[in-house]
Chains A and B, each alone.
Chain A
């Protein structure tokens, strides 16, 4: 089911949570709404679900105008951040709930068979008789997904689906959700503030800031070509170095990078920790190492330039570096944004 949002607006009392958002989600696509808290991502998701009504604009499901269809009839599967499993029902009863209240009557055998199928799909065979309090967080999230899928939703919506889980479980569930998605091919929209989650999971990432879309594209596209300092910063660690732009090149210390399209004058260089390196001799940006942090996959170096800018970058584990050393930070690549 294709979803189309046109000029959607939502205001809470005086706070404009969503400002004029237009977004197309193709049938079968897996899209992430990514943004910091307060960016309006959850509000957009809830409007698509029908849990909130928009104050302006339209939401189409396929050719049907769904803007004013209540959540009950909208045919969406919604997975809540804290699962919202019914604590007084078993896992099987939770999954069966949507089928039992459905206007489409099914007999008990059909419901039981479908519950068994879904338990198999979410790999929780044998846990149907447990109560939500008796299973782990990751298992609860899978029950919540099975429950949402049980009603054959046109669209699957997930609100920070892995937000309350620890890192290892998150990573597993992420891969697993991706598998389920390719198996079922259901149009899926999920909300996250975790850029790694969005990039790992989604076909397309929609980045939001202050209720507006600031950039959208495939994970590759948004990573390789962030179009604003905000996106650059939000997607990962970034070093910021003051620079001067002259004739399409940005100069910092005695290095320069290409900066076509940026107006002459003061600008900022943005570089990922992996884009910087350390050398005893120039050309580079003169700096002094302030600390070295050792990590399993390498060494993170904290350095300070003569101008007082703090830089962070990674070097191979074998490199011998010590705090207090002076040298030059070299630049493999960087993005330039005007101030």
Chain B
């Protein structure tokens, strides 16, 4: 009986004919291979096209080393700052009521929707010599544009929403009950945050931090406008890759690109691991009764 059920030809559901299914899967697989997988493979192949020695030479070249150092430095500053910003913004938006809250929610998302190059140009107008604070900064001999501070500020702008965006929906879903309970039991604000709030959002927080980090390291548009592309001084890794490529040093460009690709792969692995922990989406309440409100 059961065998006859499993071998019986099932009538197709809507849009579920074998031809349709195979065509759709075929198109998707083709596009994934062509658009995503092939370029990654090319990076690997081209990086070592002229042999291991050339690859090594590119990586240990002072300009490359400096670019890597600068990229890491930008991440080391921008990621913690944006993490603190993200936590503060998420906390303020989800735990307090204040005027302009909806507006703030929209503003936080702006870096996502605006092209990074627009941010770069905007910074030129704010900090550039002909810009708003340009003369003032020049008078005090503070260099922001075409220097490291500019790179860091531009990176921060582009990645500002990452942490906040991961935390806000989760903290909204969790509500204020836990914090109220902790406070009613006598806990201070700090204690409540570290003992109650943070442990309940830690996976989402880490998830946001990893995405933020990947974006800082890969940022090109905004940074390319404000950095000035001075080799060995204000070149981050993505800018360095472009420069090498325009110098017809394809192997060098690919070798440097392989570093970024490697970072991306680690990011993806970390992201998948974190998603298993429940980050990246609003966690289902462990307690079914808690859904009744």
Contacts and interface: CB of A to CB of B under 8 A. Distances in A.
Interface string A24-66: 0000000000000000000000000111000000000000000
B184 A97 contact: no
A71 B182 contact: no
Q: Which applies to chain B's interface (DSSP): helix, strand, loop or mixed?
A: helix
A150 B182 CA distance: 13
A164 B180 contact: no
Contact of A164 (B184, B187, B188, B292): B292
Contact of A88 (B184, B188, B200, B293): B200
Interface stretch (B60-68, B142-150, B248-256, B282-290): B282-290
A177 interface: no
Interface in A84-103: 84-88, 97-98, 101-103
Nearest to A82: B290
Contacts of A70: 183
B217 to A, nearest CB: 31
B196 interface: yes
B184 A82 contact: no
A114 B196 CA distance: 22
Contact of B188 (A72, A74, A80, A98): A72
A71 B184 contact: yes
A71 B180 CA distance: 9
A78 B184 contact: yes
A77 to B, nearest CB: 8
B181 A133 contact: no
Contact of A140 (B180, B182, B287): B287
A241 interface: no
A87 B289 CA distance: 14
B100 to A, nearest CB: 16
B50 interface: no
A139 to B, nearest CB: 11
A72 B292 contact: no
B186 A137 contact: no
A76 interface: yes
A148 B181 CA distance: 9
A30 B129 CA distance: 73
A101 B195 CA distance: 10
A51 B184 contact: yes
Interface string A125-157: 000000011000100100000011011000000
Interface extent on A, as a size class?
A: 35 or more
Given A51-B180, A71-B183, A84-B181, A101 B191 contact: yes
B193 to A, nearest CB: 12
Contacts of B178: 84, 86
Contacts of A78: 180-181, 184
A305 interface: no
Given A80-B180, A82-B290, A133-B287, A101 B188 contact: yes
B181 A81 contact: no
Given A72-B184, A72-B187, A84 B177 contact: yes
A80 B185 contact: no
B185 A164 contact: no
A137 B181 CA distance: 18
Nearest to A137: B289
Contacts of B195: 86, 97, 101
Contact of A151 (B186, B191, B200, B292): B186
B184 A87 contact: no
| A-B interface, 10 closest residue pairs, ranked by CB to CB distance from nearest | A98-B185, A133-B286, A84-B177, A84-B181, A164-B289, A101-B187, A78-B184, A88-B199, A137-B289, A82-B290
Interface of A: 49-51, 70-74, 76-78, 80-88, 97-98, 101-103, 132-133, 137, 140, 147-148, 150-151, 163-165
25 contacts: A51-B180, A70-B183, A71-B184, A72-B187, A74-B184, A76-B184, A80-B180, A84-B178, A84-B180, A85-B181, A86-B196, A86-B200, A97-B185, A97-B187, A98-B186, A101-B185, A101-B187, A103-B186, A140-B287, A147-B181, A147-B185, A148-B184, A151-B185, A151-B186, A164-B293
